[in-house]
């Protein structure tokens, strides 16, 4: 029980994506006075992300990236029950498995790599190599004629739904959401944020503003090496087709296909550097995404086009996230640079940022994720 007269800690979370929502939720559950600041800028990565949870098949060799990606996948096993207790169950989350498409020549080595990783992570399930016929049974539009690596523990989710669920649950625990564009108030320590002329005081601030973080941090002399990477992702629909349990398809390229409950197929995505915050659907982007999708799954040729979403991934100097405190500004926590892994590790990264803001043990060695690197 909190004694009368003891001031409650206040933390301001700047950024309304999945990282900021997770941080706000974690803090509110811990009894912290939380203010979550959300900007209406278009192109937030969470709103356009695919929602694939399958770090075990990644080609990334960086062990520090892999460690936090797997922890992110496993964190959903804690987050989902917690949200359910708070009345939030509609997350678009389903463990549908994944199929990594490979050739006969590379199948043995690829299987060994994925199996080795899966053995260290029970969530992945029992990995197996299946033939093309069985792969098409899992995902009928496929035309792949080689083997595929099946990872039953892979999942997909709706990033918007997860983010919104955490925001609503945070509010139930006492958090306040402020819409507007924030600027930091700081000297040798953060003092709060200014939103549309109003100063909101704070004991700590979590900077989780994604690709917009340099605009937030540079005015107080903090540099983070993050740039927007535009991603265009296409949504299709197969009317009358039951797609809820179709697995995630991971071709040999960086593109992907995944299905949701409403006969919807999501295909993507471009990775466009140097576009700035140009929030447009382009002819080249649409052509790239659809050509890749139809080359793998020509059975989607007659699907109905629904929409194209555009998001700006916060791309850091390397594959690892930017996560930690900033020595020159006490009370400032940076949580950023997740790139294409935002929905895999976002809630976990947000929870770590919340612990750092409270000066609690983050539960992980953060040296490899130094936000100043």
CATH number of the domain within which 344 lies: 3.50.50.60
Q: Which helix (H) or strand (E) holds 33?
A: strand 33-38
Chain-centroid distance of CA 62 in Å reads 18
Strand 33-38 and strand 176-179: pairing? parallel
Does residue 103 sit in the same domain as residue 139?
yes
For residue 2, name the pLDDT band (cuts at 50, 70, 90).
Answer: very low
Domain for residue 164, yes or no? yes
252 pLDDT above the threshold of 90: no
5 pLDDT above the threshold of 80: no
pLDDT of residue 253: 85
Does residue 232 sit in the same domain as residue 307?
yes
Does residue 236 sit in the same domain as residue 294?
yes
Does residue 198 sit in the same domain as residue 268?
no
Does residue 231 sit in the same domain as residue 306?
yes
Nearest-5° angle of CA 57, CA 63, CA 69?
55
Domain for residue 54, yes or no? no
Domain for residue 292, yes or no? yes
Q: If we measure between CA atoms, which residue out of 75, 44, 39, 121 comes closest to residue 353?
A: 75
pLDDT top residue among 293 and 5: 293
Q: Which two tokens stand for residue 347?
A: 């809630």
Domain for residue 67, yes or no? no
Distance CA 15, CA 169 (A): 17
3-state secondary structure of 181: coil
Look up the domain containing 16 and give its range: 10-46+160-226+318-369
Q: Is residue 150 a contact partner of residue 97, using CB atoms and an 8 Å limit? A: yes
Does residue 267 sit in the same domain as residue 297?
yes
**According to DSSP H, which parts of 86-131 are helical?**
104-119
Q: Which two tokens stand for residue 157?
A: 């989710």
Q: Indicate the residue among 315, 333, 355 that finishes a domain.
A: 315
- pTM of the entire structure? 0.95
254 pLDDT above the threshold of 90: no
Please write down the long-range contacts of 277-281, taking CB distance under 8 Å and 24 or more positions apart.
Answer: 277/41, 277/43, 277/211, 277/228, 277/312, 278/230, 279/42, 279/43, 279/310, 279/312, 280/310, 281/232, 281/308, 281/310
Does residue 199 sit in the same domain as residue 104?
no
Does residue 202 sit in the same domain as residue 285?
no
Domain for residue 56, yes or no? no
Q: Alpha-carbon torsion 142, 147, 153, 158, what sign?
A: negative
Does residue 232 sit in the same domain as residue 217?
no
pLDDT of residue 21: 98
Average pLDDT of the chain is 96
* R_g (Cα) of the chain, nearest Å: 21
> Within a 10 A sphere around the Cβ of 69, how many other Cβ atoms?
25
E strands present in 132-263: 148-151, 155-156, 176-179, 182-186, 190-195, 198-201, 204-207, 227-237, 248-250, 256-259
Strand 190-195 and strand 227-237: pairing? unpaired
CATH number of the domain within which 274 lies: 3.30.9.10
For residue 344, name the pLDDT band (cuts at 50, 70, 90).
Answer: very high
Say how many Å lie between the first and final Cα of the chain, rounded: 41
Distance CA 230, CA 285 (A): 10
Q: Indicate the residue among 315, 345, 361 that finishes a domain.
A: 315
Does residue 217 sit in the same domain as residue 287?
no
For residue 41, name the pLDDT band (cuts at 50, 70, 90).
Answer: confident
Domain for residue 62, yes or no? no
Tens-digit pLDDT profile for residues 146-158: 999 999 999 999 9
Distance CA 53, CA 285 (A): 24
Contacts of residue 166, defined as CB under 8 A and 6 or more positions apart, other chains included, come to 18, 21, 22, 24, 25, 83, 88, 347
What is the arithmetic mean of pLDDT over 233-237? Answer: 98
> Within a 10 A sphere around the Cβ of 106, how many other Cβ atoms?
13
Domain for residue 249, yes or no? yes
Domain for residue 57, yes or no? no
Q: If we measure between CA atoms, which residue out of 269, 261, 258 comes closest to residue 300?
A: 258
């Amino acid at each position: 029980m909190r004694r009368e007269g003891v001031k409650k800690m206040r933390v301001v979370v700047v950024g309304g994506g999945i990282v900021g929502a997770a941080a706000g939720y974690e803090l509110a559950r811990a009894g912290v006075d939380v203010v979550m600041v959300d900007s209406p800028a278009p192109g937030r990565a969470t709103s356009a992300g695919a929602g694939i949870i399958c770090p075990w098949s990644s080609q990334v060799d960086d062990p520090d990236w892999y460690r936090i990606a797997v922890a992110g996948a496993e964190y959903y096993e804690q987050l989902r029950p917690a949200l359910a207790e708070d009345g939030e169950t509609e997350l678009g989350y389903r463990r549908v498995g994944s199929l990594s498409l490979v050739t006969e020549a590379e199948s043995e080595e690829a299987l060994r790599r994925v199996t080795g990783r899966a053995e260290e992570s029970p969530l992945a399930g029992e990995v197996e190599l299946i033939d093309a016929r069985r792969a098409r049974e899992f995902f009928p539009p496929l035309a792949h004629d080689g083997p595929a690596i099946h990872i039953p523990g892979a999942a997909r989710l709706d990033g918007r739904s997860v983010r919104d669920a955490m925001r609503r649950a945070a509010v139930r625990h006492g958090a306040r959401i402020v819409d507007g564009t924030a600027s930091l108030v700081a000297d040798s320590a953060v003092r709060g944020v200014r939103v549309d002329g109003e100063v909101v005081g704070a004991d700590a601030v979590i900077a989780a503003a994604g690709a917009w973080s340099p605009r937030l941090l540079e005015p107080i002399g903090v540099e983070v090496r993050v740039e927007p990477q535009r991603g265009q992702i296409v949504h299709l629909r197969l009317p009358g087709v039951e797609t809820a349990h179709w697995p995630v398809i991971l071709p040999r390229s960086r593109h992907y296909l995944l299905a949701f409950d409403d006969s919807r197929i999501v295909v993507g995505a471009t990775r466009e550097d140097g576009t700035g915050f140009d929030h447009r659907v382009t002819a080249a982007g649409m052509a790239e995404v659809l050509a890749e999708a139809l080359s793998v799954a020509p059975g989607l040729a007659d699907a109905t086009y629904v929409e194209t979403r555009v998001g700006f991934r916060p791309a850091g100097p390397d594959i690892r996230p930017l996560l930690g405190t900033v020595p020159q500004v006490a009370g400032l926590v940076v949580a950023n640079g997740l790139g294409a892994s935002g929905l895999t590790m976002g809630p976990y990264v947000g929870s770590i940022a919340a612990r750092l803001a409270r000066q609690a043990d983050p539960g992980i060695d953060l040296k490899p994720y130094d936000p100043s690197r």
